Structures are given as structure tokens and as C-alpha cells.
Amino acid sequence: MKYNFRHRYLVMAVRVILGLFFIMSGVGGIYGGLNNMAGVPEAMLPNTWALWNMGIFQMIKITEIVAGLMLVVGFLPALAAIFVAPICIGVLVVNGMTAPEYLPSGVFVTVLTAYLGYAYWDKYKALFKIK
């Protein structure tokens, strides 16, 4: 029996779940930043405040919202997956070093993003060709 891991509906389901996750993360992050970092674990507060004061935190959260919306509505989803890939790596590193109890959520989004990378590999092939 052969399984189709690039089935249209499976890709769509993963895309929408990941998109909704990033929309919620982005909106929650902006809301938390505007309300004295409400909901941020104690160990992550110094780094989060530093990123907020430099404007990097807002940039990350706006990127999460935009890429999440792109994933949910299906507008250039392969590009949206590229947008969130570095964010996933950052989440893994930061959560792993400062708040390991939040690492499962980072692993979750990284696995879903990696799956989309697999599903859209035909669109990415040209990025990895050496001339």
C-alpha cells in the first residue's frame, strides 16, 4: 500500500492549522507586549523586553500574522512556509535555552513547517541547485 503524504487535503489541513497557530501567536505576542508582557514566562522576560525595545519582537509577530494569514487563505503558501521557517528555529533555540517547558509547541510548529517544506519541495528545488 502506498501512502500519498502530499495529498491535497492533508496539505491544506496542515497549512490551516499552522496558519491559525501563527496568527494566534502573533496577535497574542503583540497584545502581551502592549500589556507588560502578559503571559510571558518569567525566564524569558529579560530577552523578550530587549527584543521588544529594539522592535525585533514586533517584526517577528507581524511576520507571524502575515504568514499565518497567507497559510490560512492559501495565498503563496510555499512562500509563507519560508517566512516562518527561521521563526521556528528561533523558537526552538529560545524555548530550549530559557523555558524548556514550552519546547513542545516549538517542536509542533517546526514539524508542521518541515512537512510543508516536504509538500512544497518541487517549488523549492531551484533554490538548492548549484550552477
Count of domains for the chain: 1
Interacting residues of 119 by C-beta distance below 8 A, sequence separation 6+: 5, 6, 11, 14
With a pLDDT cut of 90, the percent of the chain lying above it is: 68
Cβ atoms within 10 Å of 15's Cβ, excluding its own: 24
Question: Is the four-CA dihedral 48, 23, 106, 90 of positive or negative sign?
Answer: negative
pLDDT tens-digit readout, 4-58: 777 889 999 999 999 999 999 999 999 988 888 887 888 888 888 999 999 999 9
pLDDT tens-digit readout, 44-71: 888 889 999 999 999 999 999 999 999 9
Is the pLDDT confidence value at 1 over 70? no
Q: Which domain holds residue 110?
A: 8-121
Is the pLDDT confidence value at 120 over 70? yes
Residue 19 is assigned to a structural domain of this protein: yes
φ, ψ for residue 41 (rounded to 5)? -60, 145
Residue 100 is assigned to a structural domain of this protein: yes
Look up the pTM and report it: 0.89
Question: Is the four-CA dihedral 107, 109, 112, 117 of positive or negative sign?
Answer: negative
Interacting residues of 111 by C-beta distance below 8 A, sequence separation 6+: none
Q: Identify whether the C-beta of residue 76 lies closer than 8 Å to the C-beta of residue 33.
A: no
Residue 82 is inside which H or E element, if any? helix 77-98
Residue 109 is assigned to a structural domain of this protein: yes
pLDDT band at 102 (very low <50, low <70, confident <90, very high): confident
Residue 3 is assigned to a structural domain of this protein: no
What mean pLDDT is predicted for residues 85-101?
92
Residue 128 is assigned to a structural domain of this protein: no
